[in-house]
Amino acid sequence: MTFTLRIGFVVALLLAWIAAPPAQTQSTPEMRWWKGNLHTHTINSDGDSAPDAVARWYKEHRYDFLALTDHNYLTDPQGLNTVFGAKDRFLLIHGEEVTSRAGKKAIHVNALGVRQTLDPAFKDGVVATTQANVDLIRKAGALPSLNHPNFVWSFTVDEFVAVNDLPLFEIFNGHPMTNDFGGARPSLEEMWDAVLTAGKRRFGIAVDDAHVFKRMRPEDSNPGRGWVQVRARQLTEPAILEALERGDFYSSNGVELSEVSRSGKTLRVEVAENGFASYQVRFMGREGKELARMSGPKAEYTLQAGDGYARAVVEDSNGFFAWTQPVFE
């Protein structure tokens, strides 16, 4: 190659490099909150509406994701995701309510992310039956969540604590017959503190357990009563389920939070105020001890030696709640 040709070749390369558009760098999406319901029924079990009508209700009410959890039946969301879904718009998560019994006790465990219908296990006793179904769900590669522990008073505190490898349970269920607040028996919050005090990490979700969409009455199991706000980078099934398993979410039946954060040993919460309510925040620790109580929309607590963990309960003046997940020493 002659000197002139070599110079021309180099000049051409330089001109091509100058003219080329800059390389596109793929930025990591920001963490954000996604609102969803993890327990809902259709006509494929004991709901009153078809899967598309159920999905439409949640999308129209500005939810980001929904799990259809029919009893012992996988309502495959693939077709519905094609109809309703769009990137960062609305997601249907695979789900099934694995429904079993131990005598007269109802053992219902949601399988979130399951890809095939699971046949429930039946064993002797509440703990053995629950554990068998949790193990079944884990083996299928799905995320287990214990449903309404106080429905027909199915679990004692000791039975609730005894189940292993169970990352989620329902701290609030919107069905009118689930006894969430206990009364003469332990509430779900008391049961939660017992399992946390025993050294097990278990996170509380709030759900609708909706069956009835065609009429709205207090005595019916209607939608819109309980939900989770999950912090994740993307609205995908793996991202949502991973955030749930690590406890990166809060639960609510009416109070919205604008901040839930931990810095060192300090847990901070801030309410997204609605202008009509006042707020109280309680921080709870080992054995259900109240660590601190504060009034107002902002609160923080720094873990002290011996606290074990701290979780926040936010209550507004109209009787609605939000529950953060525990942070540990």
Q: Which tens digits make up the pLDDT trace of 172-229?
A: 999 999 999 999 999 999 999 999 999 999 999 999 999 999 999 999 999 999 999 9
> What is the identity of the amino acid at 51?
P
**Which residue, among 116, 110, 120, 118, has the nearest Cα to 66 in the 3D structure?**
110
For residue 18, name the pLDDT band (cuts at 50, 70, 90): very low
Q: Write down the mean pLDDT value for the chain.
A: 92
Q: Which tens digits make up the pLDDT trace of 296-314?
A: 999 999 999 999 999 999 9
Beta-carbon contacts of 78 under 8 Å, excluding residues fewer than 6 positions away, are none
Q: What is the per-residue DSSP string for 25-67? A: P-PPPPPEEEEEE--B--TTTT-SS-HHHHHHHHHHTT-SEEE
**What does the alpha-carbon distance between residue 9 and residue 197 come to, in Å, rounded to a whole number?**
74
Three-state DSSP class for residue 128: helix
Q: Which tens digits make up the pLDDT trace of 76-115?
A: 999 999 888 766 689 999 999 999 999 999 999 999 999 9
Three-state DSSP class for residue 152: helix
Looking at the chain, list the stretches that DSSP marks H as alpha helix, in order from N- to C-terminal side. Answer: 3-19, 51-60, 78-84, 126-139, 157-162, 188-197, 237-246
> What is the reported pLDDT for 285?
98
Structural domains of the chain, ranges and CATH numbers in brackets: 29-253 (3.20.20.140), 254-329 (2.60.40.730)
Three-state DSSP class for residue 273: coil
For residue 28, name the pLDDT band (cuts at 50, 70, 90): confident
Structure token digits, residue 219? 């005595």
> What is the reported pLDDT for 23?
46
CA 13 to chain centre: 55
DSSP single-letter state for residue 280: E
**What does the alpha-carbon distance between residue 317 and residue 97 come to, in Å, rounded to a whole number?**
34
> What is the reported pLDDT for 85?
75
> What is the reported pLDDT for 27?
64
